[in-house]
Amino acid sequence: MIKSYKLRRNIANAIIYVLLAILGILWVSPFVYLLMHSFRLESMTTVPYLIPHEWGFDNYVALFTGSGSSAINFPRWFLNTLVVAIFSCIISTISVLAVAYTFSRLRFGARKKLMNVAMILGMFPGFMTMIAIYYLLKAMGLNQNLVALVICYSSGAGMGFQISKGFFDTIPRALDEAATIDGATKNQIFWRIILPMSKPIVVYTVLTSFIGPWCDFILAKIIMGDARDLYTVAIGLQSMVSAEFINQYYKQFLAGSVLVAVPITTLFLIMQRYYVEGVTAGGVKG
Amino acid sequence: MKKILAILLAGMMTATAFAGCGGGASSSSQGGSSSQGSGESSAASSDGGGATDEMTVDANTVDPSLFGDENNITLKVWAPDKAVSLVKEQVEAFKKAYPDKTFTKIEVVAQGEGDAGTQLLNDASVAADVFSFASDQLNKLVDAKVISEVAFTKTVTDMNSPETITAGTLDGKLYAYPETNDNGYYLVYDKTVIPEDKVGKLEDVLAACKAAGKKFIFDCGDGFYSCTFAFTAGVKIDGLEEDGVTQKFAQYDEAEAVKTLQAFSKLIKEYKGTFTSLNVAQIASGFSTGTLGAGVDGSWNTTADQDALKDKFGAAKLPTITVDGTEKQLVSLFGYKYIGVNASSKFPASAQILAYYLAGETCQQQRAEKLGWGPSNKAVQEMPVVKDSPVLQAIAQQAQNACAQVNIAPTFWTPMGNLGNKLIAEETNPDDTAYFTKLLKDTIANVRDEA
């Protein structure tokens, strides 16, 4: 038994830090590998060693100059995804927050029931209704169309209100009451009082709904079919490593995967400071 | 109150479930009815020409009257990306071949052959009218009634090699126009590592690779390649059972089969470090970095391998393996590519005529010359472009020693991959006959889903 408290603490800390370091390395190594190999010049597909021998920007350049076939058009895919992500992000953020506010602040007859229904519907995996969605969109003439993707990604978003509602519930109702006394409507309270105090949850909602379109594969694939010009990056990148293209496009695929992280990371960096800024304490006196 | 809510929700769930079914059912019935419609019209067009004379003019074109009353024709063609520009040229030539017809638009869209079947099954009405696909998808396309029969069966049968016709025929009906006779794998090697007279035997190939300090790649974990072990051992597939899902195997000699598997395992053990089981995507890569001596690669990767090896590129049929003093040819899985006609095409007759043209002699010759695709057309097979190509010759020779990739049960791939993995596994003892007997029996039972 080690007597000295200081020694014991140091040993414990050492063990914890070594463990954390190992976990950290494990977690970050795929990204480091991806980043390094996106700059690799030699070989066509994978190589048996970790550090590339020749480095350069050729893969990134090739990705954007589109040297090669008409079927691989990464800039177009990137733009498609960005547009879809921006629109579905705006629509779903507003709808999620509005639904959450409604359930948190307003009291109406079917409130509990609607919340339960949303909860149960949310338990089914999204792709369960994929085929039905496809035929509905087709009936509306929206298949092979980017608008269809925006609709798919944003229309069901309101059901993911739970986390935001939980946040709104922590904001004292006294604020609402005070605003009501001052003559504010429910709508004004939402936009002027609640939203400015809920920056962390707004940021969270924006980020999650922005990331969605970049990651979704299965729905986009069904909707787009053979319209390669309308592909999003997820389907596009997958098609680059299909048997037909892998030998020519594997390294560009690595570069493309790195680039997908750019808009998401940028958005996060811009919004990051609001994560800590959202403080509700001190909003009410007495 | 709670009970009422529960019943309500349960009702809603069932309703949604039925709604999903309803959508699917109505769409499939749509597909069914339209396929009947086009079936009638194609039958009508071939009837018009008489049973013996199908009114085909030559190996590329047909009598223009077969278009019927179709005019202002709009068609969509699916071709793999590498072929798109060539197919576009061929479509232009097709338009010129029928000067009296007006073609509003014939669109050529890139769509890999491996995925064409799935895309077609997703929604046939937005899919291409004329599409290229690999032979293993034929079953499900026919089952789903999304592919229409070939309108010029007799002429097509006469023109193409018999194995491609057999593989394209189900229940006595030819469902697709043979496009290539090359969808398989063969031995690619670095000529500076393995002398040309040594590629006949697997033992020599491995020895040469080992001597040069280079690797040999064969993907043992993928059933598509590792079924070679079973086939070489005499355990060959023979279509499906009556139920349409269970794989049937031809009669085989178990003792002999086990012995062959043991020989494989022994050889692999002997050349441990040289023989590596990796994905075929590593082969071109390995050649370009100079770490690879030889590999078993698919015909679709030929261009990449040639680019990597330049003038050192060598191609041969798969080698033999010596089992108890006798040399056994490695038997591979071999497929074909076809051009199919969508059963829900709005211009069924035109689609048939375009498919006939694209699968015709001229187009096959152009693809052999420009893309290096092995033709199914008998006349093109005799042309110098094929005769003088070592790759196409290697593939053609391997095709003689292969099981056709048709009528393969979905349960086939994983157990075969498992067999391959077991052969190369560290703990496997090549001399343990009982183990290999059990492994073979288990593999077959798993493929047949009887385990």
- A109 to chain B, any CB pair closer than 8 A? The answer is no
Q: What is the CA radius of gyration of chain A?
A: 24
- CATH H-level, domain B40-181+335-400: superfamily: Periplasmic binding protein-like II (3.40.190.10)
Residue B80 with chain A: CB contacts under 8 Å: 244
Output the pTM of the full model.
0.78
Of B19, B24, B78, the CB nearest to A226: B78
Alpha carbons B340 and B309: distance in angstroms, whole number: 35
Contact present, B107 and B77 (Cβ < 8 Å): yes
- B285 to chain A, any CB pair closer than 8 A? The answer is yes
Listed by number, the residues of chain B in 102-121 with a beta carbon closer than 8 Å to a beta carbon of chain A are: 109-115, 119
For chain B, which residues make up each domain, given as ranges?
A: 40-181+335-400, 182-333+404-447
- A51 to chain B, any CB pair closer than 8 A? The answer is no
Distance from CA of B163 to the nearest CA of A (A): 25
Distance of CA A65 to the CA centre of its chain: 28
Alpha carbons B93 and B365: distance in angstroms, whole number: 14
Contact present, A201 and A163 (Cβ < 8 Å): yes
Distance from CA of A154 to the nearest CA of B (A): 20
- DSSP secondary structure of B128-168: -SEEEEEGGGHHHHHHTT-EEPPTTHHHHHHHB-HHHHHHH
Q: What are phi and psi of B402, to 5 degrees?
A: -150, 160
Alpha carbons B94 and B377: distance in angstroms, whole number: 18
Architecture of domain A70-277: Orthogonal Bundle (1.10)
ipTM above 0.90, yes or no: no
Q: For residue range A179-192, list pLDDT tens digits in order.
A: 999 999 999 999 99
Alpha carbons B261 and B263: distance in angstroms, whole number: 5
Q: Show pLDDT as tens, one digit a residue, over chain B (451 residues).
A: 556 666 665 655 555 544 444 333 333 333 333 333 343 344 334 433 334 467 888 888 888 888 888 888 999 999 998 888 899 999 999 999 998 888 999 999 988 888 888 889 888 888 999 999 998 888 889 989 999 999 999 999 999 999 899 889 888 899 999 999 988 999 999 999 999 888 999 999 999 999 999 999 999 999 999 999 999 999 999 888 888 788 989 999 999 999 999 999 999 999 998 999 998 888 988 898 889 999 999 988 888 899 889 899 999 999 999 998 899 999 999 989 999 999 999 999 999 999 999 999 999 999 999 888 999 999 999 999 888 888 999 998 998 899 988 888 888 999 999 999 999 998 889 899 999 999 999 999 999 888 6
The residue among A120, A71, A191 whose CA lies nearest residue B13 is A120
Alpha carbons A9 and A21: distance in angstroms, whole number: 18
Q: Which residue of B has its CA nearest to A120?
A: B9
The DSSP bridge pattern shows strands B275-276 and B215-217 to be parallel
Write the burial class of residue A34 (CB in 10 Å: 0-12 exposed, 13-18 middle, 19+ buried). middle
Write the burial class of residue A167 (CB in 10 Å: 0-12 exposed, 13-18 middle, 19+ buried). buried
Architecture of domain B182-333+404-447: 3-Layer(aba) Sandwich (3.40)
Q: Do domains B40-181+335-400 and B182-333+404-447 have the same CATH topology?
A: yes
Among A20-29, A155-164, B46-55, B290-299, the minimum mean pLDDT is found in: B46-55
Of B24, B81, B282, the CB nearest to A244: B81
Which residue is listed with tokens 């789903």?
B144
